[in-house]
Amino acid sequence: MPTKQFLTLATASFTAAVLLSGCGKEAPKALTYQADIKPILDQHCVECHKEGGSGTEKSGLLMDTYAATMRGTRFGPVVIPGQSINSTLYRLISNKADPSLRMPHDKAPLPDETVSKIKDWIDQGAKEQ
Ligand code: HEC
């Protein structure tokens, strides 16, 4: 019966629309280096990625300021604004790299919500403030 078929279809697409909009959450809070990311790096990364730290000695990556973090290693940037997936910094904390390279080095991985905060920050453009 065509009417019934139409109704079923209409219901299905309505449900899909509700599900899709539900997934999008509300507009995510804009994340900034100063407010959201610096405290994470200070707590988990800076002890090795500071002047004289093992991470800085080996890779050149300093993470004590925004400018230094964005400058990256001696080979280039580790944060590509808008592209978490191409950002070494994100890849190394999210299990997308060889375990021997995972950051923080020789320590427990960061909690999932911290990792996704860093991912969202990069995807939102890696803003300073
Ligand atoms: C216990 C010390 C230590 C801690 C803590 C640490 N790192 Fe590292 N990091 C290193 C060392 C050592 C290297 C040099 C690469 C190597 O030889 O493994 C490095 C290299 C890196 C690199 C460059 C990789 C490359 O060569 O392209 C990135 C990016 C990085 N760390 C990110 C982080 C982040 C983000 C954190 C905090 C979540 C962190 N690190 C915490 C020691 C550390």
**Which tens digits make up the pLDDT trace of 56-66?**
999 999 999 99
pLDDT of residue 97: 78
Is 91 a pocket residue for ligand 1 (Cβ < 6 Å)? no
Distance of CA 104 to the CA centre of its chain: 14
In a domain, 94, yes or no: yes
In a domain, 24, yes or no: no
pLDDT of residue 95: 80
Q: Which domain holds residue 101?
A: 33-123
| Residue owning the nearest CA to atom 18 of ligand 1 | 101
Compute how many other C-beta atoms are within 10 angstroms of the C-beta atom of residue 54: 13
Ligand 1 centroid from CA 81, angstroms: 19
pLDDT of residue 5: 63
* Segment 33-47 mean pLDDT: 98
Q: What is the pTM of this model?
A: 0.82
Ligand 1 centroid from CA 83, angstroms: 19
Number of domains in the chain: 1
In a domain, 13, yes or no: no
In a domain, 7, yes or no: no
In a domain, 61, yes or no: yes
Which carries the bigger pLDDT value, residue 42 or residue 10?
A: 42
* Segment 24-32 mean pLDDT: 74
Long-range CB contacts (< 8 A, 24+ apart) of 110-114? 110/40, 110/44, 114/40, 114/44
User: In angstroms, rounded to a whole number, what is the distance separating the alpha carbons of residues 13 and 29?
Assistant: 29
In a domain, 25, yes or no: no
Ligand 1 centroid from CA 80, angstroms: 17
Is 98 a pocket residue for ligand 1 (Cβ < 6 Å)? no
pLDDT of residue 6: 58
In a domain, 110, yes or no: yes
pLDDT of residue 94: 94
Report residue 105's pLDDT band, with 50, 70 and 90 as the boundaries: very high
Identify the DSSP state of 97. Answer: S
Ligand 1 centroid from CA 62, angstroms: 10
In a domain, 55, yes or no: yes
| Residue owning the nearest CA to atom 24 of ligand 1 | 59
* Segment 21-46 mean pLDDT: 84
Question: Which among 40, 41, 103, 107 is the best mutation to test ligand 1's pocket, defined by most ligand atoms within 8 Å of the CB?
Answer: 103
